[in-house]
A and B are shown apart, each in its own frame.
Chain A
Amino acid sequence: MIERPLPLLLVAALALSACATKTAPPTPDRPSAAELNAMNGRTGVDTAPIRPVERSPLDDPSSPVYRKVIYFDYDASEIKPQYADLLRAHAYYIFNTPGVQVTLEGHSDERGTRAYNLALGERRSQAVQRFMVAEGAPSERLSTLSYGEERPADPRRSEGAWQQNRRVELVYTD
């Protein structure tokens, strides 16, 4: 894995803001430039005004980094296009927030053998890691962990539950 944090990050940020100013409505899936700037301002060290209630963007439902789970197709580890902006927003947030560490927890549904699914979960978490590093997240602040099929988000046995279980969770720690 080649690490190219800063230049790519700038490119990504520019691309994002360019794209956002033209078309994108501010939805959780697609953060606007304004949102990203606001977030940046809040997490900046010197310039941000002191606010009475400090709420982490990670806990703010209107923030582009509020959602922390992405989902995968059956037996696949390709990142679906609809999650690219979410992962970019997280990469940007991690780059701009000193001290945060993120564990990328890979999971699978219960179909297939347990050890193979453990490997599949790792492949998913590594796909997310590669994407986020390419988008500027410092690689030393990302780690991967696979639980395979051992920790289902939904233990039921249905197509819907399996969809919920094929996932990578971004788990933030300080």
Chain B
Amino acid sequence: MQRLRLALVPILACLFVLASAQVQAKLTIEVTGGVEGAQPVAVVPFGDIDGARPTVDLAKVISDDLARSGRFRSMPRSEMLSMPHRQDEVDFREWQLLGMNTLVIGEVSPAEGGGYGLRWSLFDVFTGNKLASDSLRSTERGLRNAAHRISDQIYFTLTGERGVFATRLAYVTSRSRSADARVILRVSDSDGFNPQTIVDSAEPIMSPAWSPDGQRLAYVSFEKRKPAIFIQELTTGRRERVASYDGINGSPAFSPDGRKLAMTLSKDGGPDIYVMDLASKQLTRLTDHYAIDTEPAWSPDGSHIIFTSDRGGRPQIYRVAASGGPAQRVTFEGDYNAAASYSPDGRSMVMVTRIGGQFRVVVTDANGGSRRLLSNGALDESPSFAPNGSMVIYASQNNDRGVLSVTPIAGGSGQRLSQESGEVREPSWSPLVP
């Protein structure tokens, strides 16, 4: 017995280390900025039918999602006077007196053949009207995602804007900024849960980019002590090295139909923009200039590509047809504009600009006009739109540490995503997957 106990100590210690590594790996999300206009909502703990005992507190996931958006204020459970699970158990006057506008109730039951059945309803507390309701099935592992999908439906019903709770984030992380720190490419749920390591390397990893179906990531890895572009399937981990030419192999970007990959290669001289047909691996060169051409991004209709070039002396955004041809300059305001990408509707762009020696994120119209500042840091970079187009995610610094920031285009409260320690950078938001 004594011996067994002694043997258990190192095992427990190992488990503890693993568990704490997991905790450290998870992104923590804080709401930043004012939440004055936040609407009060109550998400009642889901009823447990026939001993379903789900391993996830679905109501908590949903209420945290809604609160994180900054548009809602979730009622603490301790303030609830009753916990109804069905419409006929709801006393709407009680919720009115508690100052709620909307109420979410639901139930979980064991599903035939395994997994769970989920039923939920959303009510207007003043009229007692049912605003939305649905039922869905989920596996054990899919429970958090099912809760995020419910959040998406609730969010859409109440705001008219698509929710992005059931999406994922890719990001690069390291213990510190120093050159010897390991670099890890991770994917997590949009709330920071379920962090999954995609690559873990002693050498730099850069530029993660999602495929339009959300199944694959393209990224740049220096693991062989030179940069190469890989495409990796997330579920199987299977990956393919698609570009490892002499010089730079960088900035991969999937075309909207997922069949092509734009990239920066310097194999023929200076860095230029190329498009690779992923089936044939055939390359088409889109730019041919001794200046730096890099950071390609597709228009949502796939017709053209915008990129950064310093052919005019300073980095500015240019556009070129996806089939090739002359490039046209897009941005004229400011002496450093780079890393531009489109909103999902193609009407706006976000990019990094230099203002008074500070690097900040701006949003512009599709022609580079109507510039508006979205961030106020000194080293903000890697901006891109959330897949619903209502928010922008970018990398910034907080207390000298790399964090991710989410800012709604229309203003209002944002989010800060950080790890308990270490650096987070180069965020990329997954597409909306049906």
A74 to B, closest residue via Cβ: B357
Task: Mark A138-153 against chain B: 1 for CB-CB distance below 8 A, else 0.
Answer: 0000001111101111
Beta-carbon contact of B179 and A118 below 8 Å: no
Q: In the complex the two chains form, is A120's CB within 8 Å of B292's CB?
A: yes
Structural contact, B178 and A116, CB atoms closer than 8 A: no
**B226 and A145 contact, CB distance less than 8 A:** yes
Chain B residues with CB under 8 A of A112: 315, 336, 338, 352, 354, 359, 381
Majority secondary structure of chain A interface residues (helix, strand, loop or mixed)? mixed
B21 nearest CB across to chain A (Å): 22
Task: Say yes or no for B294: interface residue by CB 8 A criterion.
Answer: yes
> Is residue A115 contacting chain B, with contact meaning CB distance below 8 A?
yes
Q: Which of A111, A118, A146, A153 is in CB contact (< 8 Å) with B359?
A: A111
Question: Is A122 interfacial (CB-CB < 8 Å)?
Answer: yes
Tell me if A110 counts as interface (CB < 8 A to partner B).
yes
Q: For residues 266 through 294 of chain B, which have their beta carbon under 8 Å from a beta carbon of chain A? A: 266, 270-271, 292, 294
Q: Which residues of A contact B381 (CB under 8 A)?
A: 112-114
Instruction: Return A32 CB to nearest CB of chain B, in Å.
Output: 35
B327 at the interface (CB under 8 A from A): no
A157 located at the interface, meaning its Cβ lies under 8 Å from any Cβ of chain B in the complex: yes
A98 at the interface (CB under 8 A from B): no
**Given A113-B381, A114-B426, A150-B206: A119 touches B264 (CB 8 Å cut-off):** yes
Residues of B within 8 A of A114 (CB): 206-207, 381-382, 426
- Nearest chain A CB to B110 CB, angstrom units: 49
B292 and A123 form a contact (CB under 8 A): yes
Any chain A CB within 8 A of the CB of B400?
Answer: yes
Q: State A148–B426 Cα separation when bound (angstroms).
A: 14
Query: Which of A115, A145, A152 is within 8 Å of B294, CB to CB?
Result: A115
A41 at the interface (CB under 8 A from B): no
**Cross-chain contact B339 with A111 (CB below 8 angstroms):** no
Interface contact B294-A146, CB-CB below 8 Å: no
Per-residue CB contact flags for chain A residues 152-166 toward chain B (1 = under 8 Å, else 0) read 110101000000000
Task: Find residues 76-107 in chain B having any chain A CB closer than 8 Å to their own CB.
Answer: none
Give complex CA distance A100, B27 in Å.
Answer: 46
Chain A residues near B183: list those with CB within 8 A: 150
> Which B residues are in CB contact (< 8 Å) with A111?
359, 379
Bound together, the chains give a CA A151 to CA B354 distance in angstroms of: 23
Query: A91-141: which have CB < 8 Å to B?
Result: 110-116, 118-120, 122-123
Binding site for B on A (CB under 8 A): 110-116, 118-120, 122-123, 144-148, 150-153, 155, 157
Please list the 4 inter-chain residue pairs (A to B) with the smallest Cβ-Cβ separation, ordered nearest first: A150-B204, A155-B177, A151-B179, A119-B292
